[in-house]
Amino acid sequence: MARITYQNRLENIINNPYCSARDKDFAGDLLTYYKRNRKLTAGRARCVNQMEERYSPEACEAIQRLRDEGESDPRIVSLNALKGRCEPSSWDKGFLESVIDQSLKGRELSPRQDEILDKIKVRNSEEAIKSRRRWEADWVVKPRLSEEFRVMMDYYRANPPYFSNIVTAFDIAESLEGHDYKPSKKVWEKVCEGKYALKVINAHWAEPKYPVGSTVVVRATAKQFPNIYKGKAAAVISTTEPIRNASKGCKRYKILLMGVQKPALVDEKDIKIYRAPKA
């Protein structure tokens, strides 16, 4: 008989039709961690045990009975219809699953929960759904969007803790074969349309002031370089390095200083064209 591992147990939880979207996502994260480390921490293992209890055969039977009873309740029918309009792994869908479960058990929703429900209805209206579909189509046919998102992931990875949760999700998706991270329109706007983000993106698309092959010199004001390198000629070997700051002249270059074997990274503002000294 084959040994049952945490991978088997987590896959069973994920494939359980009664498992909530939130728990599916959490179990998926645990599975990714287990595949990478071949073990779980004590806290993560405890979470697996709790989810197995939550979706035991007896618990699933109870969930089904409550669902059957709720089919005639207009409020629950309405909540289920709203849940069906939400994105599969969204916070909205997880919240609705929670309030549906609460309603099935006969507990009234709080004023705050009703307030959140009103916001979810707006976010998942017919017009909002059409807007999401237009975004999904744009993401496919406009590669510039994914390029700009990747540029900002590089930037925020180098400048924590901003958007660290999004960077982590992006890195996990990129590490899995056949997976691509596709942000929602709201996430893309937060990451790519801020004041500093626009500076980084504009610098990324800008024509390099010093093309590959140019001979440049490190300015005296370049703080990251020792004085020994300042004023020394260097060859530009790349103009598309990940940008690390959001200021004027932040386009990133890779240069090779004369007499130095290892290339260096430098912002455009910290170099200038090399002028050979007059004889």
Q: Please check the confidence at residue 267 and state whether its pLDDT lies above 90.
A: yes
Comparing C-alpha atoms, which of 242, 154, 228 is closest to residue 191? 154
Comparing C-alpha atoms, which of 37, 31, 34, 40 is closest to residue 11? 31
Instruction: With cut-offs at 50, 70 and 90, classify the pLDDT of residue 1.
Output: low
Q: How far is CA 11 from the centre of its chain?
A: 23
Q: Please check the confidence at residue 114 and state whether its pLDDT lies above 80.
A: yes
Tell me if 181 sits within 8 A of 174, measured CB to CB: yes
So what's the pLDDT on residue 234? 93
Tell me if 155 sits within 8 A of 192, measured CB to CB: no
Instruction: With cut-offs at 50, 70 and 90, classify the pLDDT of residue 155.
Output: very high
Instruction: With cut-offs at 50, 70 and 90, classify the pLDDT of residue 279.
Output: low
First to last CA, the chain: 85
Kind plus residue range of the DSSP H or E element containing 10:
helix 6-15
Q: Please check the confidence at residue 124 and state whether its pLDDT lies above 60.
A: yes
- This prediction has a pTM of 0.67
Predicted confidence (pLDDT) per residue in 199-213, tens digit? 999 999 999 999 999
So what's the pLDDT on residue 71? 67
Length of the chain: 279
Kind plus residue range of the DSSP H or E element containing 25:
helix 21-37
Q: Please check the confidence at residue 105 and state whether its pLDDT lies above 80.
A: no
Instruction: With cut-offs at 50, 70 and 90, classify the pLDDT of residue 187.
Output: very high
So what's the pLDDT on residue 108? 85
Mean pLDDT of the chain: 89
Helix then strand then coil, in percent of the chain rounded to 5, is: 60, 10, 35
d(CA 145, CA 102): 40
Q: Please check the confidence at residue 151 and state whether its pLDDT lies above 60.
A: yes
Q: Please check the confidence at residue 269 and state whether its pLDDT lies above 90.
A: yes
Tell me if 147 sits within 8 A of 154, measured CB to CB: no
User: Which range among 27-36, 82-91, 188-197 shows the weakest confidence by mean pLDDT?
Assistant: 82-91
39 phi and psi angles, rounded to 5 deg:
-165, 165
Could you give the percent of the chain with pLDDT greater than 90?
57
Give me the residue label for tokens 């507990």. 107
- Tokens of residue 267, six digits: 């912002």
Predicted confidence (pLDDT) per residue in 236-264, tens digit? 999 999 999 999 999 999 999 888 888 99
Let me know if 162 is exposed, middle or buried by CB neighbors in 10 A (0-12, 13-18, 19+): middle
259 phi and psi angles, rounded to 5 deg:
85, 5
Tell me if 167 sits within 8 A of 191, measured CB to CB: no
d(CA 226, CA 215): 19
Q: Which has more confidence, 220 or 144?
A: 144
CB atoms within 10 A of CB 190: 15
Comparing C-alpha atoms, which of 217, 213, 227, 230 is closest to residue 275? 217
Tell me if 255 sits within 8 A of 216, measured CB to CB: yes
